[in-house]
Amino acid sequence: MLSAKPRAENSFREFSLDTIRAGEASGQFRSEQPELLAAQLTAQLQQWHLKPWNFKLLDVSTQQ
């Protein structure tokens, strides 16, 4: 049985994957590997949330 955190992460990844596929279907963009893109998006957002100091050191803001 999955704990709440992995379920939430899988739920977000599935939401992202659905959004990516909808964007592909509408012709807004193309992704060679939508599953990998969804996983990368999940990891990047976790990194952004857990380590904001890292992005400040890199001089990267949410506006970029």
- Parse the chain into domains and list their residue ranges: 33-57
Measure CA 46 to chain center.
8
Instruction: Give the residue carrying structure tokens 């990998």.
Output: 36
Which ranges constitute the DSSP H helices of 1-64?
Answer: 4-25, 34-50, 52-57
Calpha distance 17→11 (Å, rounded): 10
Running along the chain, 64 residues long, what does each successive block of 10 average in pLDDT?
Answer: 65 92 96 94 82 78 65
pLDDT at residue 1 in the model: 53
Give CA–CA dist 8/30, Å, rounded. 26
pTM as predicted: 0.65
Residue 16 in contact with residue 38, Cβ under 8 Å?
Answer: yes
